[in-house]
Structure 1
Amino acid sequence: MTAVGSVDTRLVVLRGDSGSGKTTTATALRPLLRAKTAVIHQDHFRRTLLAGGEKNSRSADAAALIDTVARQSLDLGYDVILDGVFNLRDYAGRLEQLWRDHRGVTRIYQFDVGFEETVRRHETRELRNAFTPEEMRAWHDGWQPLEFVEEGRIGPEETLPEILARIVADLREGSSSAVADSRRPKDRFADS
């Protein structure tokens, strides 16, 4: 692929099971980044833009569209926050290529809060009537790490302010290091 963004753009990927806190985190993180920040929600592509399509092709189609929008946003100078389940089947290859192609700082986090906690959190959301806990169980993947990078693992004990502080600190740390150093087979960012 082609290099995207600049040394000044930042890419944050928030992935994990439905109801784990990704969208809440993305929404709260946006004002802590630059004014020029794009938030790209997987749900928007799958539920709104591609609604009504066949489920398997809809997931693959959403992956392609999300990748394109993220790349274009980075090229336009936006920081980007990607928020979604981002299963390994449809997204691992695309996330790896985007991670390798991005010139700036990239941080990837996976929410690993357990099934019971995702259901508890789901009951507080506006989408609580959109799908049932039984449907959520069918989708629940649990911890499924990407192979090309050590993701930041976000557990159920972490509060939103703690998560936000951690991400902002990780982005600051990454900004002061050599970009080439962050493209090793395993990113130097590790679980803390």
Structure 2
Amino acid sequence: MGNVPRVIVGAEETRLVVLRGNSASGKSSVAAGLRERFGRNLALVGQDNLRRIVLRERDRPGAANIGLIDMTARYALSAGFHTVVEGILYADRYGAMLEGLVRDHRGTTCCYYLDVPLQETLVRHGTKPAEYRGQVTDEHLREWFRERDLLPGGIETVIGPGSALDVTVDRIMRETGLDRVPAIDR
């Protein structure tokens, strides 16, 4: 992966939301809730989609998906889309990219870490379809789990397991200002 040149992206009006946390912590559900609540003009840049589906790549340091996530988010912001970047996004592998993206975004940026204990992630995982649970097992969740894998500098707001999905979506909508920005029908 080559270094992506650092350039200012987005506009003062664009919103960047970074959602991180362990597997089964609710990141994808929150991202989907934000899109449903906001409407069009909200891009979802999902780590799983770009890494597992587009590239079919393992999650490892220096992997190509890191740059693809960065470029996709930057493109969406520069095209005027509010953008949600979501995934496990381990701090040691994705931190530098995320810090650069946050630094370079011209508009409002808010980062959130969904802090859900391992036992709760196992319970949540148990509610997923059997086909998915056959591919991603409880043992995988234990292996992947990192307790409070926060980005340096205290740039993330930590949201605990007691925050219900609708409460979390409402909070992020309010704190990012997405609740006050009109959706654009593209």
Query: What TM-score do you get using the length of structure 2 for normalisation?
Result: 0.87
Q: Please, which of 155, 162, 171 is the counterpart of residue 157 of structure 1?
A: 162
- Whether the aligned pair in 1 keeps the contact of 2:60 and 2:93 (CA below 8 Å) is no
Distance 1:61 1:28 in 2: 28
1:31 positional shift: 2.5
Q: Please, which of 68, 72, 80 is the counterpart of residue 65 of structure 1?
A: 68
Tell me the residue number matched to 1:11.
Answer: 16
Tell me the residue number matched to 1:50.
Answer: 55
Tell me the residue number matched to 1:85.
Answer: 88
Distance 1:55 1:144 in 2: 16
- Give 5+ residue unaligned stretches, structure 2: 1-5, 181-186
- Whether the aligned pair in 1 keeps the contact of 2:51 and 2:58 (CA below 8 Å) is no
Question: Relative to 1, partners in 2 of residues 1:55 and 1:160: Cα closer, same or farther, differing over 3 Å?
Answer: closer
1:117 positional shift: 0.6
Sequence identity (%): 37
- Whether the aligned pair in 1 keeps the contact of 2:17 and 2:111 (CA below 8 Å) is yes
Distance 1:56 1:44 in 2: 16
- Give 5+ residue unaligned stretches, structure 1: 176-192
1:34 positional shift: 5.2
1:129 positional shift: 2.2
- The more displaced of 84-93 and 120-129 is 120-129
Tell me the residue number matched to 1:122.
Answer: 125
Residue identity matched to 2:82: D
Distance 2:167 2:69 in 1: 27
Distance 1:96 1:55 in 2: 19
Q: Secondary structure at the match of 2:17?
A: strand
User: Which residues of 2 match residues 14-53 of structure 1 at below 5 A?
Assistant: 14-33=19-38, 35-51=40-56, 53=57
Question: Relative to 1, partners in 2 of residues 1:140 and 1:99: Cα closer, same or farther, differing over 3 Å?
Answer: same
Distance 1:92 1:46 in 2: 16
Distance 1:56 1:147 in 2: 20
Distance 2:42 2:116 in 1: 27
Tell me the residue number matched to 2:183.
Answer: none
Q: Secondary structure at the match of 1:56?
A: coil
1:111 matches 2:114: yes
- Whether the aligned pair in 1 keeps the contact of 2:52 and 2:58 (CA below 8 Å) is no
Q: Please, which of 96, 109, 117 is the counterpart of residue 99 of structure 2?
A: 96
Aligned residues: 174
Question: Relative to 1, partners in 2 of residues 1:166 and 1:56: Cα closer, same or farther, differing over 3 Å?
Answer: same
- Whether the aligned pair in 2 keeps the contact of 1:12 and 1:108 (CA below 8 Å) is yes
